[in-house]
Amino acid sequence: MAPRTRKSRETSETPFELPQQDSQNVTITNIEESQASKRKRGCTKMKTIAVDPSSRIEVQFNSLGQAYGDGSVSLSSFLGPLVREIVPYTLADWRKLPKDTRAILWQCIQRNEKPESTPSRVDVWIRAHQKKNGEAVNTNAAETIAKINSIRDDLPKSSSMNPKEDALAKVLGPENSGRLRGFGKGVTLSKLSILTQRDNQMNQMKNEYDDLKDEVANLRSMINKLVKGQGHNQSSESCEEVSTAPITSPNTMNVNPLNKNCKILDWMGSGEIVAEGRWSSSDPKALVHHVPIGPNAMRVWVDKVRKGETFLWRPTSYMSNIEEAMGSTVAWPADKIRMDG
Whether residues 132 and 168 fall in one domain: yes
Q: Which of 309, 310, 300 is nearest to 330 (CA)?
A: 300
Instruction: Provide the pLDDT for residue 38.
Output: 67
Instruction: Provide the pLDDT for residue 242.
Output: 43
Sort residue 159 into left (φ over 0), alpha (ψ -120 to 50) or beta.
alpha
Residue 79 lies in a domain: yes
Q: Which segments of the chain have a pLDDT < 70? A: 1-38, 41-57, 78-119, 157-161, 184-186, 230-259
Report DSSP letters for 272-283, one per residue: -EEEEEEEEE--
Q: State the Cα–Cα distance between residues 191 and 90, nearest whole angstrom.
A: 25
Whether residues 125 and 175 fall in one domain: yes
Q: State the Cα–Cα distance between residues 234 and 305, nearest whole angstrom.
A: 54
Whether residues 107 and 124 fall in one domain: no
Residue 89 lies in a domain: yes
- For 281, counting Cβ atoms within 10 Å of its Cβ (0-12 exposed, 13-18 middle, 19+ buried), the class is middle
Instruction: Provide the pLDDT for residue 263.
Output: 92
Residue 48 lies in a domain: no
Whether residues 271 and 329 fall in one domain: yes
Sort residue 266 into left (φ over 0), alpha (ψ -120 to 50) or beta.
beta
Residue 308 lies in a domain: yes
Query: Which residue segment(s) compose the domain that 79 sits in?
Result: 57-117
Specify the DSSP class assigned to residue 165.
T
Whether residues 224 and 271 fall in one domain: no
In angstroms, the Cα distances linking 59 to 22, 129, 258 are 60, 32, 33
Whether residues 122 and 104 fall in one domain: no
Residue 312 lies in a domain: yes
Residue 69 lies in a domain: yes
Whether residues 172 and 197 fall in one domain: no
Read off the pTM.
0.32
- Beta bridge partners of residue 298, listed in sequence order: 332
Residue 224 lies in a domain: yes
Contacts of 60 (CB under 8 A, 6+ apart): 67, 68, 69, 71, 72, 290
Whether residues 129 and 80 fall in one domain: no
Whether residues 324 and 270 fall in one domain: yes
Residues 227-231: contacts with CB under 8 Å, at least 24 apart: none
Whether residues 143 and 108 fall in one domain: no
How many structural domains comprise the chain?
4
Whether residues 93 and 122 fall in one domain: no
Residue 220 lies in a domain: yes
Q: End of a domain among 165, 187, 209?
A: 187
